[in-house]
Amino acid sequence: MRTILRKVFLVDLLQGMWVTFRTQHPKNIVTEQYPFERPKIAERYRGAPRLNVNPENGQTLCISCDLCALACPEALIVVGWERNPETKRKDLITFTFDTSRCMFCGLCEDACPVDALELTQDFELASYSREGAIFDRQILEEGIQPKKYVF
């Protein structure tokens, strides 16, 4: 008898529907409206690489030790340097970081002894060409500038 009543009044269905409707309450909505609403990125997030500069004089922190290039599993970092005849230290000339092959494992960041190379919270890495994914020193120091679209 009870089973018949359950069937007639669609109890099972209503139970299931109740779960669905319950989660439609505005405070239960979890969808992020991405381009309008920026997601909160964790502090340790491994995103676009950045080459830090000294904020005081704008000089690079990189000491051209090449450790990041050695640590990289994909060998996608190329450090170009020149020996400065006066200071006898290596001067950084170029720094290329091929993000098209990067898997953001963070090993380069771990290897850096002076915290010059860092993976930042920037995550908008799309570009129109493959070449656009290869970051040179300028992009690395200034950070990526994704195009802002107005909707």
Partner 1 sequence: MAETFLDSTELVLNMGPQHPSTHGVLRVIVKLDGEKVLGTECVIGYLHRGVEKIAENRTYTMFAPYVDRIDYIAAVSNGLGYCLAVEKLLNVEAPARAQAIRVILTELNRIGSHLLWLGTHALDIGAITPLFYCMREREYTLDIFEKYCGARLTTHAFRIGGLQYETYEGFEKECLAFCDLFLPKVDEYEELLTGNRIWRKRLIDVGILNEADCKAFGVTGPMLRAAGCKWDIRKALPYCGYEKYDFEIPTRENGDTYDRYMVRMQEMRQSARIIRQAVEGLPAGPITAKVPKVIKPPVGEAYVSIEAPKGELGYYIVSDGTTQPYRCRVRPPSFVNLQALDKMARGSLVADLVAIIGTIDIVLGEVDR
* Cα(135)–Cα(56) distance, integer angstroms: 24
Is there binding between residue 12 and partner 1 (CB under 8 A)?
yes
Which residue blocks in the chain are alpha helix, DSSP H? 2-8, 11-22, 67-71, 107-111, 137-142
- Select the span of 42-50, 81-89, 90-98, 133-141 touching partner 1 (CB under 8 A): 42-50
Return the half-sphere exposure (C-beta side, CA atoms, 13 A cut-off) of residue 53. 14
Closest distance to partner 1 from the beta carbon of 38 (Å):
15
Q: Tokens 């230290």 identify what position?
A: 89
Amino acid of residue 112: C
Hey, what are 120's tokens? 């930042």
Is there binding between residue 46 and partner 1 (CB under 8 A)?
yes
Closest distance to partner 1 from the beta carbon of 30 (Å):
5
Q: Mask of contacts with partner 1, 79-108, x by CB under 8 A?
A: ------------------------xxxxx-
Chain contacts with partner 1 (rule: CB under 8 A): 12, 15-16, 19-20, 23, 30, 41-46, 71-73, 103-107, 110, 119
